Amino acid sequence: MKTRSSSVLVLLAVLGAALASPLGAAPAPSTRALAYPVGSVERDGILVARPGDSASRVEAYLGSPDQKLSGDTWVYRRFQCQPELENAEECTTLIISFSHLRVSVLQRVNESAVQVLAAQLTTPAAKRQLVAGK
C-alpha cells in the first residue's frame, strides 16, 4: 500500500510539473515574426510611398534605407504608425519590396520578420523547398 501511495504522489508531482511548465505556450511576441501589409505610407500628411512608386521617389521622401536586404528589398527602422494598429509598438520596421524599380509590396514588421526575410533572401533557390500545386 505504501508503494502504491508513493507512486501516486510521484505521478501527481510529475503531472503537476508538466502542467505548470509552458511547453505548449506560444512564443513571446518579440520572438515571433510579425508582418502586416501597408497600403501606403504618409509623412506629415504627404503620400510618400505606395505600390507603383519609383525607388527614386521613395528615397527622395524617406531617405536612404537603414539596410538593404537585396537591391529590391529595403528596410527602414524606427517607423512610426498609428498606435491603434495591431502590434504598432512592436512592428516598427518598414520593408519596401521593389519589382523593376517600382514599389510592389509595403510591410510593417518586427525585427524577427526582418531576420527571417534576410535568411530567405540569402538562401540559394536550389536549397529552398519549393512546393507547387495545380
Per residue in 25-55, pLDDT (tens digit) is: 444 555 789 999 999 998 888 899 999 999 9
Confidence of residue 99 (pLDDT cuts 50, 70, 90): very high
Cα separation, 98 vs 85, in Å, equals: 24
Which residue in the block uniquely carries the three cell numbers 537603414? 66
pTM over 0.95: no
Please give the average per-residue pLDDT across 76-102, as a whole number.
Answer: 87
pLDDT at 21 over 50: no
What CATH number was assigned to the domain covering residues 35-124?
3.30.1450
Long-range CB contacts (< 8 A, 24+ apart) of 109-112?
109/33, 109/34, 109/35, 109/36, 110/30, 110/32, 110/33, 110/34, 110/35, 111/30, 112/30, 112/31, 112/32, 112/33, 112/34
Domain ranges for the chain, please list them.
35-124
pLDDT of 130 reads 59
